[in-house]
Amino acid sequence: MAYFFEEPSHTFSEYLLVPGYSSADCIPANVNLQTPVVKFKKGEKPALSMNIPLVSAVMQSVSDDKLAIALAKEGGISFIYGSQTIENQAAMVARVKGYKAGFVTSDSNVSPNSTLQDVLNLKEKTGHSTIAVTQDGTPNSKLEGIITSRDFRVGHADMNAKVSEYMTPFAELITGKDGITLSEANELIWKHKLNSLPIIDEAGKLKYMVFRKDYASHEEHPLELLDSQHRYIVGAGINTRDYMERVPALLEAGVDIMTLDSSEGFTEWQRRALQDIHAKWPNAKVGAGNVVDADGFKFLADAGADFVKIGIGGGSICITREQKGIGRGQATATIEVAKARDEYYAKTGIYIPICSDGGIVHDYHMTLALAMGADFVMLGRYFARFDESPTNKLIVNGNYVKEYWGEGSNRARNWQRYDMGGASKLSFEEGVDSYVPYAGSLHDNVSMSMSKIRHTMCNCGAVTIPELQEKAKITLVSQASINEGSAHDVIVRNTSLRAE
Ligand code: IMP
């Protein structure tokens, strides 16, 4: 006879946190959101932790190199989507690892023979008023000088005059040598009162520009997540089909962490993939999933998963439950898997981090997931709304929106994610193609969300995530109290403050 769970499964919206005692030290500024990403033995430190408990979903419409850099600056990790060629995915990883905060490849360049009109045209196109003058006008050829819009007066100068007549020539420029650190570059910028500093190699070729204004932006990211060589940490999604080719390419590109990306991970395919990868590349870190119960967790833990992802059918673009009747309420799944993780830890002394993936709508859902035992959360819709996500920004019905589509939609056709060992194709859709409201920059939104988590944790008397997991008091709520939770019995006036 089939097994019946005794309790119905619940979603995050059906729960609330009940405050605990907050001491005078329990203030948002003292909250530390550091959290482990990969498994570790009792008494040891995990090989990889994050400074905020957020990762971005393995999706075409969410995680590319641009979003990965923006999220690593805030202290989290992106898992660059795997539903693309191995070469393209590895190139995205390499771009994140090659990105040097504060060092930018010059995007506005002219040659000494260009005209002042060319300079004006370029300024209009890029919006940048500092333009590098290189031998052939390309970003990395020999640096000949710098020209800015302050070097000539429009209306007075002949717009057909050559750049070489108006630029500050190389001999008069202060430059930095390739290999200097950002703080050394900033020292030069401040000492010589510069707005920008060209960085050149031994042959005098332009490598990067460092801008004074970027210094402030670098300062804004005290939690940025860096490896031992000061490069941003980045993840990538893999599948159970081509991992023997994909994994070495990603490792070569410098990937820090990978995850098997599947709608359902309690399978022989995931066990084989984990074992093959760990046998061939013992230092590679690989998460697995998704599962929604203790059996699924134990299976992946025994198979060697470095972390386990939870969630089936809860994603905002997901129609798996409608299509196949498979899934479980995300809160219940998280609670049960967290319990299994704690039992596994007590028995083996190995702590395997768990990630609640999908279905996070409000910021407080993140705090609930953490309080229920998740070490971090994976989000798709949340990140898709930001400037840095890879998709188009459009106006629909007078509002700015961004495109957001599921990996199981006809648009992405990521059949490997829904693969149950049959033909290499997507048999039917398990996701939709949609719009999400545009929400601005990742930095502004993540800062706000983390601020809310910090405040809520203080309400619960906790300044770390493990402390929250130990102290949180969580209650199920009735439908009537859910209604009571938003503004009610008043006529709401226009407000820009919306629950997130
Ligand atoms: P969201 O944060 O609620 O938008 O959920 C994102 C999560 O949904 C992802 O991390 C995946 O686990 C899952 N997902 C992505 N694409 C699909 C799909 O097409 N169908 C079902 N689930 C999906």
* 260 close to ligand 1 (CB < 6 Angstrom): no
Q: Is 82 in the pocket of ligand 1 (CB under 6 A)?
A: no
Rounded to an integer, what distance in angstroms lies between the CA atom of residue 168 and that of residue 396?
47
State whether the beta carbon of 358 lies less than 6 angstroms from ligand 1: yes
Residue 487: predicted pLDDT: 83
Contact 171, 181 (CB under 8 A): no
For the cut 60, the answer to whether the pLDDT of residue 498 exceeds it is: no
pLDDT reported for residue 497: 52
- Which range is most confident: 106-110, 176-180, 448-452? 448-452
Residue nearest to atom 7 of ligand 1 (CA): 358
- Atom number in ligand 1 closest to CA 381: 4
Q: Report whether residue 355 contacts ligand 1, using a CB cutoff of 6 Å.
A: no
Q: What sign has the CA pseudo-torsion 226, 227, 228, 230?
A: negative
* pLDDT band at 428; cut points 50, 70, 90: confident
- Contact present, 234 and 255 (Cβ < 8 Å): yes
Contact 447, 439 (CB under 8 A): no
Give the pLDDT confidence of 290-329 residue by residue, as tens digits: 999 999 999 999 999 999 999 999 999 888 888 889 999 9
Lowest-pLDDT range of 224-228, 276-280, 296-300, 366-370: 224-228
Q: Alpha-carbon dihedral of residues 376, 380, 383, 387, nearest 10 degrees? A: 160
Angle at 114 between CA 109 and CA 115, to 5 degrees: 115
Q: What is the pLDDT of residues 8-39, one digit of tens each?
A: 999 999 999 999 999 999 999 999 999 999 99
**Could you read off the pLDDT of 245-275 as tens digits, one per residue?**
999 999 999 999 999 999 999 999 999 999 9
CA distance 225 to 291: 28
CA 3 to ligand 1 centroid distance, Å: 27
Q: Which atom of ligand 1 is nearest to the CA of 379?
A: 2
Please, which residues have CB within 8 angstroms of residue 44's CB and are 6 or more apart in sequence? none
How far apart CA 468 and CA 76 sit, in angstroms, is 19
Is 53's pLDDT higher than 90? yes
Check residue 102 and give its pLDDT.
80
pLDDT one-digit tens code per residue, 83-125:
999 999 999 999 999 887 788 888 899 999 999 999 999 998 8
Is 353 a pocket residue for ligand 1 (Cβ < 6 Å)?
no
Average pLDDT over residues 421-443: 87
> Separation of 406 CA from ligand 1 center, angstroms?
6
By annotation, the residues acting in catalysis are 318, 417
Q: Pick 186 or 332 by higher pLDDT.
A: 332
Mutational test site, ligand 1, from 13, 58, 59, 377, max ligand atoms within 8 Å of CB: 59
| Ligand 1 lined by 254 (C-beta under 6 Å) | no
The alpha carbon of 330 and the centre of ligand 1 are apart by a number of angstroms equal to 12
Check pocket membership of 320 for ligand 1, CB cut-off 6 A: yes
More confident residue, 369 or 217: 369
Q: Is the pLDDT of residue 217 over 80?
A: no
Give the ligand 1 atom nearest the CA of 384. 4
Q: Exposed, middle or buried: residue 184 (CB in 10 Å: 0-12, 13-18, 19+)?
A: middle
Measured in whole angstroms, the distance separating CA 88 from the mean position of its chain's CA atoms is: 18
- Centroid of chain to Cα 392: 18
| Residue 201: band (very low, low, confident or very high) from pLDDT cuts 50, 70, 90 | very high
Check if 59 has its Cβ closer than 6 Å to any atom of ligand 1.
yes
What number does the ligand 1 atom closest to the CA of 431 have? 19
pLDDT band at 410 (very low <50, low <70, confident <90, very high): confident
Among 365, 407, 416, the mutation site with the greatest number of ligand 1 atoms within 8 A of its Cβ is 407
State in Å: Cα 178 to ligand 1 middle: 42
Structure confidence at residue 216 (pLDDT) = 66
Integer Cα distance of 148 and 266 in angstroms: 60
Q: Point out the ligand 1 atom lying closest to the alpha carbon of residue 314.
A: 3
d(CA 34, CA 479): 34
Q: For a substitution probing ligand 1, which of 12, 83, 318, 365 has the most ligand atoms within 8 Å of its CB?
A: 318
Ligand 1 centroid vs 340 CA: distance in angstroms? 24
SS (H, E, C) the chain: CCCCCCCCCCCHHHEEEECCCCCCCCCHHHCECCEECCCEECCCCCCCEECCCEEECCCCCCCCHHHHHHHHHHCCEEEECCCCCHHHHHHHHHHHHHCECCEECCCCEECCCCEHHHHHHHHHHHCCCEEEEECCCCCCCEEEEEEECCCCCCCCCCCCCEHHHHCEEHHHCCCEECCCCHHHHHHHHHHCCCCEEEEECCCCEEEEEEEHHHHHHHHCCCCCCECCCCCECCEEEECCCCHHHHHHHHHHHCCCEEEECCCCCCCHHHHHHHHHHHHHCCCCCEEEEEECCHHHHHHHHHHCCCCEEECCCCCCCECHHHHHCCCCCHHHHHHHHHHHHHHHHHHHCEECCEEEECCCCCHHHHHHHHHCCCCEEEECHHHHCECCCCCCEEEECCEEEEEEECCCCCCCCCHHHHCCCCCCCCCCCCECEEEEECCECHHHHHHHHHHHHHHHHHHCCCCEHHHHHHHCEEEECCHHHHHHHCCCCCCCCCCCCCCC
- Distance, in Å, from the CA atom of 196 to the CA atom of 186, rounded to the nearest integer, reads 9
- The per-residue pLDDT for 93 is 97
**pTM reported for the whole predicted model:** 0.85
Rg of the chain over all Cα atoms, to the nearest angstrom: 25
Q: Specify the length of the chain in residues.
A: 500
| Distance (Å, whole) CA 266 – CA 299 | 7
What angle do helix axes 182-191 and 212-219 make, rounded to 10 degrees? 130
